[in-house]
Amino acid sequence: MKLDALAIAAHRDDVEIVCGGTVIKLADSGYKVGIVDLTQGEMGTWGSKEERGKEALCAAKVMGVKIRENLMLPDSRVEPTWENKLKLVRLIRKYKPHLVILPYWTQRHPDHANCSQLAYDACYLSGLAKLDVPGEPHRPFKIIYTSSYHQIQHSFIVDITDQFERKKKAVACYRSQFQRKESRKTVFRPAGSIFDFMEITARHYGSLIRKRYGEAFVIKEMIEIEDPMKMSVPSI
């Protein structure tokens, strides 16, 4: 299956939290969307890799994604090695996405930062005709980086007002991770829980484009506006 968009993240539940609304919106628009998780999340404090595997399938169904694959790299040891890049190149050539969604490159968790570099490199390498990897060369047209949870200058915001409730439902599939009271105190304070955290963040970014909920992204190149008369956010 050829995908229109592919989200790549280090752990099961990363995509749901940082860009789940956008993934759902793409699926709602009729695009074929997939997810690649690099690890099985076996180093997480709560839940087993088997539990998280079932939860990931539940969330994928809620979001309407067409495929969800796992590269089975060791959790907390995601590294941008040549071997790992070639593993990901195989999937990029297999699915040939036009759009790739990656984590922002500066992160608290080393796996997230390394995922960003690893996946970017794989996107480039996938287009090399002489690279000895199965499949036809393919280089994604666009790479965007999820940046809602980072204090930076964002490039654009996606309105996820119609998708936000399903985003929360997708995250709620991860019962092993987010139904424990102790996690609220250590990870998501002062918001209280992952759902409060997502609500506060999405409301903030939604307000910047005069919508109820939004998700922020950054890109490394400029955006072209074809018709300035059709820009949607008012200035005054």
- Tens digits of residue pLDDT in 185-210: 555 555 568 999 999 999 999 999 99
Cβ atoms of residues 95 and 68 within 8 Å: no
User: Is residue 6 pLDDT above 90, yes or no?
Assistant: yes
* Global pTM value: 0.93
CA distance 93 to 13: 24
Residue 7 phi, psi dihedral angles, 5° rounding? -100, 130
Quote the pLDDT of residue 46: 83
Residues 6+ apart with CB under 8 A from 27: 33, 63, 64, 65
Written as one letter, the residue type at 37 is: D
Kindly tell me if the per-residue pLDDT of 11 is higher than 70. Answer: yes
From the centroid of its chain, how far is CA 65? 12
Q: What number of other Cβ atoms are within 10 A of residue 150's Cβ?
A: 18
pLDDT at 136: 96
| Residue 67 φ/ψ, nearest 5 degrees | -140, 150
CA distances from 68 to 10, 36, 109, 161, 191 (A): 13, 6, 22, 24, 30
- pLDDT value for 49: 87
- In three-state secondary structure terms, 156 is strand
Percent of the chain with pLDDT over 90: 86
Tens digit of each residue's pLDDT (9 = 90 or more) over 43-67: 887 878 899 999 999 999 999 999 9
CATH of domain 5-220: 3.40.50.10320
66-89 residue pLDDT tens: 999 999 999 999 999 999 999 999
- Across the range 105-116, mean pLDDT stands at 94
The encoded tokens of residue 38 equal 């690099």
C-alpha to C-alpha distance for 143 and 95, rounded to whole angstroms: 15
pLDDT of residue 184: 47
Distance (Å, whole) CA 206 – CA 69: 31
Name the pLDDT band for 180 (thresholds 50, 70, 90).
low
Residue 1 pLDDT > 90, yes or no? Answer: no
What pLDDT score was predicted for residue 181?
54
